[in-house]
């Protein structure tokens, strides 16, 4: 098998045709952005299996997904990604092809950085999408960190618009749901209040001893952020009259909440992602919150409207979304909400208070019973 990194010499006409420049065994193309940056860009047309071109082999095997991914990515604007790279230094891999690796990997249920690295080297469909480039797991991780905002906002919305247009899918009726995903931090290092205070004091003392030490300054900033978030959660619990004895926080991911995980895995630092999808199961909006699925409903309705070009008419949610905040958000967006009441008690509680589902509205007298 030959790949884009082992392409035969090209003549001048072929250089113009492919728009590439060879430099020390790497293939580069001029960047479309104003930085003048060049990127290492593989050419899938040059990959062969024995005497069969990769394109022909995939078509004969009936493997259509790689061609769909390439067409979708070619219709996106990559200028925002390319402008984040400096105009000097070693040429990086093409953002479009690296994004192709991630997208194709997600479609194949591959989420680990090391598994993505392996996929780029061994999967023939992935080679067509990436042009044969083989970034290691560290480069893939840095790419995700560098372009986090664009991946979750601009590219997601642009890519979804392209998909909706291609398949003619409507999005007037949406369904939403959320889940819990565990954070990357260790579940065995979750300090309580005393340890959080002690760590912040130690970091401050270390910075005072070495004020010019960048590592000490970063450690102090992290510990201060952790302490501030801990104080906010502590005050919230005290305001609700809840016990603060079990309150913990991650020192490396303080944004994550300690909450019950899925499938009986106990408790751990985690987040709650949520999505809205249309009747064709195409996700039109997504959001991530540390602890709440209901808090992001309004922002997801706004994002779905931007993506589809029109506000949804109806939203279907499960009983976990039976909340005043969700009802207010759908009313403000003029969206019909279909949501069961959930497992709320219909009888009075010992404190003499009633839940709202215990009341009936009488339209003639404009009163509640």
- Residue 197: per-residue pLDDT: 94
First to last CA, the chain: 77
CA distances from 77 to 42, 81, 83, 165 (A): 18, 9, 12, 16
Among candidates 362, 301, 309, which has minimal Cα distance to 331?
A: 301
Which pLDDT value is given to residue 349? 54
CA distance 234 to 243: 9
β-partners of residue 40 are 28, 93
What pLDDT is recorded for position 119? 96
Q: Are 42 and 132 in contact (CB under 8 A)?
A: yes
Query: What does R_g of the chain's alpha carbons equal in angstroms?
Result: 26
Residue 177: exposure state from Cβ atoms within 10 A (0-12, 13-18, ≥19): middle
Q: Rounded to whole angstroms, how far apart are CA atoms 26 and 28?
A: 6
pLDDT of residue 343: 58
Residue 310, number of CB atoms within 10 A of its CB:
11
Any idea which residue has 């809840």 for tokens?
242
State both tokens at 229. Answer: 């978030």
Q: How confident is the prediction along the chain (369 residues), in pLDDT tens digits per residue?
A: 444 434 444 444 443 333 333 333 344 454 444 456 789 899 999 999 999 999 999 999 999 999 999 999 999 999 999 998 887 888 899 999 999 999 999 999 998 999 999 999 999 999 999 999 999 999 999 999 999 888 888 999 999 999 999 888 888 999 999 999 999 888 888 999 999 999 999 999 999 999 999 999 999 999 999 999 999 999 998 988 888 888 999 988 999 999 988 877 888 999 999 999 999 999 999 999 999 999 999 999 999 999 999 999 999 999 989 989 999 999 999 999 999 986 554 444 556 677 777 788 888 888 888
SS (H, E, C) 330-356: HHHCCCEEECCCCCCCCCCCCCCCCCH
Please give the model's pTM, rounded to 2 decimal places.
0.76
């Amino acid at each position: 098998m030959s790949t884009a990194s082992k392409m035969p010499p090209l003549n001048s006409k072929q250089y113009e045709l492919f728009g590439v420049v060879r430099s020390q065994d790497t293939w580069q193309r001029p960047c479309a952005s104003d930085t003048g940056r060049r990127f290492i860009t593989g050419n899938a047309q040059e990959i062969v299996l024995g005497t069969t071109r990769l394109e022909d082999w995939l078509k004969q095997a009936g493997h259509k997904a790689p061609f769909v991914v390439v067409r979708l990515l070619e219709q996106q604007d990559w200028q925002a990604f390319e402008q984040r790279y400096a105009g000097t230094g070693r040429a990086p891999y093409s953002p479009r092809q690296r994004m192709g690796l991630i997208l194709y990997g997600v479609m194949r249920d591959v989420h680990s950085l090391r598994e993505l690295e392996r996929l780029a080297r061994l999967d023939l469909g992935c080679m067509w999408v990436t042009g044969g480039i083989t970034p290691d797991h560290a480069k893939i991780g840095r790419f995700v960190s560098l372009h986090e905002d664009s991946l979750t906002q601009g590219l997601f919305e642009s890519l979804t618009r392209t998909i909706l247009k291609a398949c003619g899918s409507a999005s007037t009726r949406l369904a939403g749901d959320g889940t819990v995903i565990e954070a990357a931090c260790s579940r065995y290092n979750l300090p309580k209040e005393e340890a959080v205070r002690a760590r912040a004091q130690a970091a401050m003392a270390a910075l005072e001893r070495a004020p010019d030490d960048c590592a000490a300054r970063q450690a102090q900033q992290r510990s201060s952020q952790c302490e501030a978030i801990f104080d906010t959660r502590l005050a919230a619990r005290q305001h609700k009259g809840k016990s603060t004895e079990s309150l913990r926080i991650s020192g490396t991911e303080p944004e994550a909440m300690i909450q019950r995980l899925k499938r009986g895995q106990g408790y751990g630092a985690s987040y709650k992602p949520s999505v809205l999808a249309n009747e064709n199961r195409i996700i039109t909006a997504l959001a991530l919150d540390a602890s709440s699925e209901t808090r992001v409903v309004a922002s997801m309705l706004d994002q779905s409207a931007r993506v589809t070009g029109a506000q949804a008419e109806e939203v279907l949610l499960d009983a976990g979304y039976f909340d005043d905040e969700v009802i207010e958000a759908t009313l403000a967006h003029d969206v019909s909400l279909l949501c069961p009441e959930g497992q709320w008690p219909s009888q009075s509680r010992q404190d003499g208070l009633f839940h709202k589902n215990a009341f009936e509205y009488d339209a003639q007298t404009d009163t509640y019973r």
